């Protein structure tokens, strides 16, 4: 049961910041923590008034907390619109970044790590991504155009409407990945492995004779397209 006196105090403290989007969630979390603190102080033998004063005295400067939220949101906005084109970014650490609409065109990203990053609608045009890491990356609507991805590692990524048009993916392993609306048109797929991958509405207008599809599952349209380009589909399931 919510402590009414504490709830009223927290409401007054946050009143100047009601226009901040995250305040409601922050208030609820703080109130729960304060109620736990109050209960602990009462169990330690403090009377009700003493326990209440000690509890509210532990809150600290709310304005500093709100400022930190603004700073964090500003950083997210900065990351979302960042343009890193024509840059030497070899072996950069981009793990966990959120970079919607990011621009990496004509950049050297050899060996860079994009694991657990959100690269929705980001652009990699004529970029060097040799040996780059994309573990658990969100690549929804990302565009890799005429880029070098030889040696890149992809694991548990989101490939919804991702485009690899005219990019070199020779020897890359896409085993067990899921592809929906993905485009591989004119991509280099020599010895590229798609073992046990799942495909829906995927475009392969390219040479796929040397690509590996053992154990893959795909819709009829993708199957027909691959068959037309002479892919080896002897161990494929149609879904």
Residue 78 pLDDT class (50, 70, 90 cuts): very low
Tokens of 77: 């906005």
Q: pLDDT at residue 118 above 80?
A: yes
Most distant pair of Cα atoms in the chain: their distance: 82
174-206 pLDDT, tens digit each: 999 999 999 999 999 999 999 999 999 999 999
Q: What's the whole-number mean pLDDT along residues 21-39?
A: 76
Q: How many Å apart are CA 217 and CA 210, to the nearest integer? A: 18
pTM of the model: 0.67
Residues 6+ apart with CB under 8 A from 237: 215, 216, 217, 218
Q: Determine the average pLDDT of the residues in 201-223.
A: 97
pLDDT score recorded for residue 74: 44
Strands (E) in the chain, as ranges, are 123-125, 133-135, 143-145, 153-155, 159-160, 178-180, 198-200, 217-218, 237-238
Q: Is the pLDDT of residue 213 over 60?
A: yes
Going from N- to C-terminal start, the domains of the chain cover 4-79
- Angle at which helix 23-43 crosses helix 48-56, to 10 degrees, equals 140
Least confident of 34-43, 62-71, 126-135: 62-71
- Local structure of 163: helix, strand or coil: strand
Residue-level pLDDT at 31 = 78
- Tell which residue, 92, 161, 66, has the closest CA to residue 121: 161
User: What SS3 state is found at 145?
Assistant: strand
Residue linked to tokens 């990699």: 124
Contact criterion met (CB below 8 Å) for 164 and 149:
yes
57 contacts 37 by C-beta, under 8 angstroms: no
Smallest CA-to-CA distance from 101 within 134, 130, 78 is with 78
Q: What is the pLDDT of residues 135-179, one digit of tens each?
A: 999 999 999 999 999 999 999 999 999 999 999 999 999 999 999
Share of the chain above pLDDT 70, in %: 85
Q: Which residue in 75, 66, 71, 72 sits closest to 19, CA to CA?
A: 66
Residue 154 phi, psi (nearest 5):
-120, 130
Compute the distance between CA of residue 155 and CA of residue 133 in angstroms, rounded to an integer. Answer: 9
């Amino acid at each position: 049961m919510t402590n009414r006196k504490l709830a009223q105090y927290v409401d007054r403290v946050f009143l100047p910041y009601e226009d901040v989007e995250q305040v409601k969630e922050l208030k609820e979390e703080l109130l729960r923590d304060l109620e736990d603190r109050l209960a602990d102080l009462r169990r330690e033998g403090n009377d009700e008034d003493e326990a209440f004063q000690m509890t509210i005295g532990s809150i600290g400067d709310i304005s500093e907390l709100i400022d930190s939220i603004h700073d964090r949101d500003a950083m997210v906005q900065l990351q979302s619109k960042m343009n890193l084109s024509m840059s030497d970014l070899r072996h950069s650490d981009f793990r966990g970044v959120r970079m919607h609409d990011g621009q990496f065109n004509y950049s050297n990203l050899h060996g860079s790590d994009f694991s657990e990053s959100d690269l929705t609608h980001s652009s990699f045009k004529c970029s060097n991504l040799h040996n780059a890491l994309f573990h658990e990356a969100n690549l929804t609507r990302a565009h890799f155009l005429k880029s070098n991805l030889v040696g890149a590692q992809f694991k548990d990524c989101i490939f919804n409407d991702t485009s690899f048009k005219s990019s070199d993916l020779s020897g890359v392993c896409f085993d067990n990945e899921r592809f929906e609306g993905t485009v591989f048109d004119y991509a280099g797929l020599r010895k590229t492995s798609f073992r046990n991958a799942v495909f829906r509405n995927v475009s392969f207008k390219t040479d796929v004779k040397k690509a590996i599809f053992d154990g893959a599952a795909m819709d009829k349209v993708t199957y027909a397209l691959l068959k037309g380009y002479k892919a080896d589909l002897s161990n494929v399931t149609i879904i």
